[in-house]
Amino acid sequence: MDLFEYQGKQYFARYDIPVSKGDVAVTVDQAIAAADAAGYPVVVKAQVQVGGRGKAGGIKLANNADEVRTHAGNILGMDIKGHVVKRVWVENASDIAEEYYASFTLDRGAKKHLLMLSREGGVEIEEVAEKNPAAILMLHIDPVDGLSAAAAKKAAVDAKIPDAAQQGVADILVKLYRCFVEGDCDLAEINPLILKPTGEVHALDAKVSLDENAEFRHPEWAEFQATVELDARELLAREKGLQYIGLDGTVGIIANGAGLAMSTLDVVNQVGGSAANFLDIGGGANADVMAGALEVINSDKNVKSIFINIFGGITRGDEVAKGIVEALGRVDLRAPIVIRLDGTNATEGRDILKNAGIPESKLTSKSTMLEAAEAAVALAK
Amino acid sequence: MAIFVDQNTKVIVQGLTGGQGKYHGLRNKAYGTQIVAGVTPGKGGTDVEGIPVYNNVVEAVKATGATASFVTVPPKAASAAILEAAAAGITFIVCITEGIPAQDEARTYNTLIRDFPKVRLLGPNCPGIISPGKCNIGITAGEIAQLPTAKGPNVGIVSRSGTLTYQALYELKQLGIGVSTCVGIGGDPVPGTSFIDCLREFQADPETHAIIMIGEIGGSAEEEAAEFIKANVTKPMSAYIAGVTAPAGKKMGHAGAIVSGGKGTAQGKMDALRDAGVKVGNNPTEAGQLMATIVAGLS
């Protein structure tokens, strides 16, 4: 789950990482109140999860309430690369002496945590990596050991952070690492990490991505969930606890397991069709889950046929079949189903479908993935 | 021969008294696997259809001499269960639990390699391992696996995706090709066992004559495997990579993109494998057919 900048800063503040005084606003009046509280001059920043906000006019400096009124009025509702701005973050403006970059992620290849630190911040880090890779310090951290204050200080020195900022950067690295680990982040990034003329080091931006598997131990994440932007289909899917990503095609896809779901998309594409979605009903899906999945697919007006591709492991074929029968009783499906069912209890599942008296115009069964894909694509044409 | 597990492997099930644990533990036993005990704290002294249940892994190992464990407990408890098994002397741990936080996985993996270097963890979030006719630990439906033949040729399977593992077994069964061992390594960020670990074993296993590898987009495990294959694997291979048309990376932001250095796309992975001499199919069926051609050339 990716956080907005303001949420990232609020998350950072929980771990004592210094951020600018500010508040989030959804109206112009709220923006002025936030600016009055933060102290002028302020920066009004569009809250969208897309790069290039500044160039699009989504970040403005304001010296007084009138200027906040003008800028917040312009920015709220602005369309930045297809993202409509619903909120602005208003914070006390900072004087900047230097800009650095710091982030923590998990390096899947090395199976260790990875610190990236650079004295060239404020620009896209990909750009630095391409033009001047030597300017980025990469340090692997054993998750069992963690990051000590001494190791953080050495990293700051090795990254050639200027003397005046070394201790401040090292302190923030230790705090950011704690945020990354205890806060269960997939990514915790500060760009730019600034040195003020007064000597303090400070997070001027926040990019945080949270590991949703850890939600059970973070009740405080509930407020972040509320602002995730989803289309109507995705909202319905989330209510039903399904892994769903909306796409533009005409064949609705239901599969168990991310790999099989991806593979199903590939095969539909190879036989000349296009998928309307990615939907993984996961392991151990029962009748309720299948019925829910069909309701979500049915809510998509573009869907002309539905391809259910199940290979049972934890998921049992009989449960899947029961779910389909139940869903057909509950929802009036607009599109016909093509199913391919194999694996655990597949025979029982096929029998349930056969004996349910479903007309062939509504449901056909195919024995291979490829045949089923061809049939589903033909029905969608 | 087979890799990692065979007819002599004695297995305990951590979480045998839970719904999934009971269902799959009993299925594994019915397949012929030596499921010798279950472990559930507080339920020691009871049994599940004749399988004795112990309070902890130490007691279960002492009573049965088990060397392998099937961990099927909820995400909150999984890391502790894995480390408990390792500390009790279990050397092969299969964890099917889905939804373990990445931070826990990273810590558990690095604790294992430091404190228990002889222990192999398969998973988490994997379908398990089956050496057909000998041992099945996990959630694979055993009947879809074709038995290996004494003469061969037999195929080893290694896969990052659960359901595509079954798909691969199924394709080989349709073609009547025997399987030595099928390993599902799982698609989580920090898998205990990698493609390379399995490829090394398959290369050394006299009962395995060819290898199918199933990967998916994201990370760089397939590219690393391709480099290993180039240098170390002489047995013929086919492969499939899922996700050519998958919606573009939802996950990581900037930092992730740099770590992988442009790696991670299905096309990049397929190119790397082809470059290593692997025959790459465009879908699981094609990978199976390519393997059929390879096997026909071997027998």
CATH of the domain at B223: 3.40.50.261
Q: Which amino acid is at A279?
A: L
Q: What is the pLDDT of residue A71?
A: 97
Q: What is the pLDDT of residue B254?
A: 30
Q: Which of A213, A284, A313 sits opposite B127 (nearest CB)?
A: A313
Whether residues B190 and B118 fall in one domain: no
Confidence of residue B263 (pLDDT cuts 50, 70, 90): low
Please enumerate in sequence order all residues whose Cβ is within 8 A of that of A101, keeping only pairs 6 or more positions apart, or say none: A116, A117, A118, A120, A121, A122, A125, A128, A136, A189, A190, A191, A192, A193
CB contact under 8 A, B166 and A312: yes
CB contact under 8 A, B255 and A124: no
B26 found inside a domain? yes
Sheet holding B237-242, edge to edge: B135-138, B128-131, B178-184, B154-159, B210-216, B237-242, B279-281
Q: What is the pLDDT of residue B237?
A: 98
Whether residues B235 and B118 fall in one domain: no
Among A61, A69, A62, A81, CA closest to A25: A69
Please state the rounded mean pLDDT for residues B32-47: 97
3-class state of residue B11 by DSSP: strand
Confidence of residue B256 (pLDDT cuts 50, 70, 90): very low
> Measured between alpha carbons, how far is B39 from B44 in angstroms, rounded to an integer?
7
Residues of B in contact with A124 (CB under 8 A): 254
Say if residue B34's pLDDT is above 70. Answer: yes
CB contact under 8 A, A262 and B217: yes
CB contact under 8 A, A257 and B164: yes
Number of Cβ within 10 Å of residue A375's Cβ equals 20
Q: What is the pLDDT of residue B257?
A: 35
Residues of A in contact with B159 (CB under 8 A): 259
> Which residue from A minimizes the CA distance to B245?
A266
Distance, in angstroms, between B75 CA and closest chain A CA?
Answer: 8
Mean pLDDT of chain A: 92
Confidence of residue A233 (pLDDT cuts 50, 70, 90): confident
Distance, in angstroms, between B233 CA and closest chain A CA?
Answer: 20
> Which residue from B minimizes the CA distance to A142?
B110
> Which residue from A minimizes the CA distance to B169?
A343
> Measured between alpha carbons, how far is A251 from A247 in angstroms, rounded to an integer?
10
CB contact under 8 A, A278 and B244: no
Please state the rounded mean pLDDT for residues A228-252: 83
Q: Which residue has the higher pLDDT, A207 or A244?
A: A207
Say if residue B233's pLDDT is above 50. Answer: yes
Distance, in angstroms, between B182 CA and closest chain A CA?
Answer: 14
Dihedral in degrees, nearest 10, Cα atoms B59, B63, B64, B70: -20
3-class state of residue B150 by DSSP: coil
Sheet holding B68-71, edge to edge: B47-48, B51-54, B34-39, B10-14, B68-71, B92-95, B120-122
Please state the rounded mean pLDDT for residues A230-248: 81
Whether residues B149 and B118 fall in one domain: no
Rg (CA), chain A: 26
CB contact under 8 A, A108 and B103: no
In this predicted model, what pLDDT tens digit does every residue of A44-54 receive, in sequence order?
999 998 878 88
Residues of B in contact with A257 (CB under 8 A): 161-164
For β-strands B51-54 and B47-48, DSSP reports them as: antiparallel
Q: What percent of chain A has pLDDT over 70?
A: 98
Please state the rounded mean pLDDT for residues A199-217: 94
Whether residues B64 and B206 fall in one domain: no
CATH of the domain at B62: 3.40.50.720
Q: What percent of chain B has pLDDT over 90?
A: 77
CB contact under 8 A, A369 and B163: no
Whether residues B150 and B96 fall in one domain: no
CB contact under 8 A, A314 and B285: no
- A175: tokens are 């705090």
Whether residues B101 and B171 fall in one domain: no
Mean pLDDT of chain B: 91
Confidence of residue B247 (pLDDT cuts 50, 70, 90): low
Whether residues B163 and B282 fall in one domain: yes
> Measured between alpha carbons, how far is B110 from B288 in angstroms, rounded to an integer?
35
HEC sequence for chain A: CECCHHHHHHHHHHCCCCECCEEEECCHHHHHHHHHHHCCCEEEEECCCCCCCCCCCCEEEECCHHHHHHHHHHHCCCEECCEECCCEEEEECCCCCEEEEEEEEEECCCCEEEEEEECCCCCCHHHHHHHCHHHEEEEEECCCCCCCHHHHHHHHHHCCCCHHHHHHHHHHHHHHHHHHHHCCEEEEEEEEEEECCCCCEEECCCEEEECHHHHHHCHHHHHHHCCCCCCHHHHHHHHCCCEEEECCCCEEEEECCHHHHHHHHHHHHHCCCCECEEEECCCCCCHHHHHHHHHHHHCCCCCCEEEEEEEECCCCHHHHHHHHHHHHHHCCCCCCEEEEEEECCHHHHHHHHHHCCCCCCCEEECCCHHHHHHHHHHHHC
CATH 3.40.50.261 placement within chain A:
232-380
Whether residues B204 and B117 fall in one domain: no
CB contact under 8 A, B109 and A262: no
Whether residues B202 and B98 fall in one domain: no
Range of A43-57, A144-158, A334-348 with top mean pLDDT: A144-158
Residues of A in contact with B161 (CB under 8 A): 257-260, 262-263
Whether residues B152 and B230 fall in one domain: yes
Catalytic residue among B118, B250, B251, B254: B254
CATH 3.30.470.20 placement within chain A:
98-225
Dihedral in degrees, nearest 10, Cα atoms A43, A46, A49, A51: -70
Residues of B in contact with A313 (CB under 8 A): 127, 138-141, 162-163, 166
Q: What is the pLDDT of residue B250?
A: 44
Distance, in angstroms, between B21 CA and closest chain A CA?
Answer: 10
B1 found inside a domain? no
Q: What is the pLDDT of residue A214?
A: 95
> Which residue from B minimizes the CA distance to A315?
B139
Dump strand ranges (E) for chain B: 10-14, 34-39, 47-48, 51-54, 68-71, 92-95, 120-122, 128-131, 135-138, 154-159, 178-184, 210-216, 237-242, 279-281
Distance, in angstroms, between B127 CA and closest chain A CA?
Answer: 8
CATH 3.30.1490.20 placement within chain A:
21-92
> Which residue from A minimizes the CA distance to B100?
A213
Q: What is the pLDDT of residue A227?
A: 77
Question: Please, what is the Cα angle at A194 between A190 and A199, to 5 degrees?
Answer: 140
Q: Which residue has the higher pLDDT, A258 or B222?
A: B222
B137 found inside a domain? no
Asked whether the beta carbons of A207 and A47 are under 8 A apart, the reply is no
B3 found inside a domain? no
Q: What is the pLDDT of residue A17?
A: 98
CB contact under 8 A, A260 and B24: no
Confidence of residue A248 (pLDDT cuts 50, 70, 90): confident
B46 found inside a domain? yes
Dihedral in degrees, nearest 10, Cα atoms B249, B255, B256, B262: 90
Q: Which of A125, A259, A268 sits opposite B164 (nearest CB)?
A: A259
In this predicted model, what pLDDT tens digit does every residue of A292-314 receive, in sequence order?
899 999 999 999 999 999 987 66
Least confident of A190-204, B189-203, B208-222: B208-222
- Choices 3.40.640.10, 3.90.950.20, 2.40.128.130, 3.30.1490.20: CATH for A21-92: 3.30.1490.20
Confidence of residue A15 (pLDDT cuts 50, 70, 90): very high
Among A270, A245, A278, A258, CA closest to B242: A258
Burial class (CB in 10 A: 0-12, 13-18, 19+), B285: buried
Whether residues B154 and B293 fall in one domain: yes
Q: From the candidates A145, A311, A320, which should be mutated to test the interface with B, based on the most B CB atoms within 10 A? A: A311
Residues of B in contact with A189 (CB under 8 A): 253-255
Say if residue A14's pLDDT is above 90. Answer: yes
> Which residue from A minimizes the CA distance to B284?
A263
> Measured between alpha carbons, how far is A237 from A116 in angstroms, rounded to an integer?
36
Residues of A in contact with B107 (CB under 8 A): 143-144
B136 found inside a domain? no
Integer distance in angstroms from the first to the last C-alpha of chain B?
A: 19
Q: From the candidates A4, A101, A103, A107, which should be mutated to test the interface with B, based on the most B CB atoms within 10 A? A: A107
Least confident of A70-74, B59-63, B98-102, B133-137: B98-102
Distance, in angstroms, between B234 CA and closest chain A CA?
Answer: 24
Asked whether the beta carbons of B69 and B91 are under 8 A apart, the reply is no
Domain A98-225 = CATH 3.30.9.10: no
CB contact under 8 A, B163 and A259: yes
Residues of A in contact with B72 (CB under 8 A): none
Q: Which of A181, A187, A260 sits opposite B256 (nearest CB)?
A: A187
Say if residue A12's pLDDT is above 70. Answer: yes
Say if residue A55's pLDDT is above 70. Answer: yes
Q: What is the pLDDT of residue B261?
A: 43
Q: What is the pLDDT of residue B258?
A: 39
- Domain coverage including residue B185: 145-298
Distance, in angstroms, between A260 CA and closest chain B CA?
Answer: 6
Q: What is the pLDDT of residue B259?
A: 37
Whether residues B99 and B186 fall in one domain: no
Domain count, chain B: 2
In this predicted model, what pLDDT tens digit does every residue of A161-183 receive, in sequence order?
999 999 999 999 999 999 999 99
In this predicted model, what pLDDT tens digit does every residue of B48-86 receive, in sequence order?
999 999 999 999 999 999 999 999 999 999 999 999 999
Q: Which CATH architecture has domain A232-380?
A: 3-Layer(aba) Sandwich (3.40)
Q: Which of B91, B122, B153 is the last residue of a domain?
A: B122
Dihedral in degrees, nearest 10, Cα atoms B216, A313, A249, B263: -10
Residues of B in contact with A217 (CB under 8 A): 76, 101
Please state the rounded mean pLDDT for residues A69-83: 93
In this predicted model, what pLDDT tens digit does every residue of B165-200 receive, in sequence order?
888 898 899 889 999 999 999 888 899 999 999 999
- A367: tokens are 């024995």
CB contact under 8 A, B163 and A311: yes
